[in-house]
Amino acid sequence: MIVDWQADPIKGALLHVDLKRIAMDQLLRVSVPVLLKGEAPGVKVQGGILEQMMREVEIECLPADIPNHIDGDVSQLMFGQTLRVSDLPHSDKIKFITDENQAIAHVTAVKEVVVETPVEGAEAAATTAEPEVIKKGKQEAEGEVAEGGEKPAKAEKAEKAEKSEKKK
């Protein structure tokens, strides 16, 4: 029986396989996948969503009786109903190790995302908290003269910078 294997991550080639010798007359514990079959009326008619919480169950049986998968019938699930491990089909040859009350799948309501609308006071606070942008350059200082007949300090600095650039 194959227990584990390793594959090359790039090429995908098989690198190593771990095998286990088993006796055909002794019980084994194995995990078996659960496949859901059918269409739930809770989804089709009532508008719910089928959610599978458990993808595999652990069983105990003889090596010759190990199934490839266990089919779970969801064709009777209505809104709010649950398919449990005890509801899965099984024979006398298979014993469930997983708790029989554990849920496999259920039909639930669609969850809606509620978007909160901001309060008007919060919007006003957000607009006043924005930083003030300071303009650079000569835009406000070009040709303007202050009330006292003098040019503002920014205008004088801008003119000096222009003159030094022209000399170069």
CA distance 93 to 30: 14
Domains and CATH numbers, the chain: 26-108 (2.170.120.20), 138-168 (no CATH)
Q: Helix, strand or coil for residue 148? A: coil
| Confidence tier at 146 by pLDDT (50, 70, 90) | very low
| pLDDT above 50 (res 163) | yes
| Confidence tier at 1 by pLDDT (50, 70, 90) | confident
Q: DSSP label at 137? A: S
Q: Where is pLDDT greater, at 120 or 44?
A: 44
Q: Nearest to residue 65, comparing CAs of 99, 33, 95, 34?
A: 95
Q: What is the pLDDT of residues 114-135, one digit of tens each?
A: 556 655 555 555 555 666 667 7
| Confidence tier at 42 by pLDDT (50, 70, 90) | confident
Q: Which two tokens stand for residue 92?
A: 């006398």
Predicted TM-score (pTM) of this structure: 0.56
What b-and-e string marks burial along 36-49, b requiring 16 or more CB atoms within 10 Å of the CB?
Answer: beeebbbbeeeebe
Q: Where is pLDDT greater, at 53 or 154?
A: 53
CA distance 55 to 33: 6
How many CA atoms does the CB half-sphere of 119 hold within 13 Å? 3
* Cβ-contact 81, 108 below 8 angstroms: no
Q: Nearest 5°: CA angle at 56, between 55 and 60?
A: 170
| Confidence tier at 97 by pLDDT (50, 70, 90) | very high
Per the prediction, the chain carries an average pLDDT of 79
| pLDDT above 80 (res 98) | yes
| Across 74-78, 100-104, 139-143, 153-157, least confident range | 139-143
Helices (H), the chain: 41-44, 120-128, 153-167
| pLDDT above 90 (res 139) | no
At 115 the pLDDT is 59
Q: Where is pLDDT greater, at 68 or 144?
A: 68
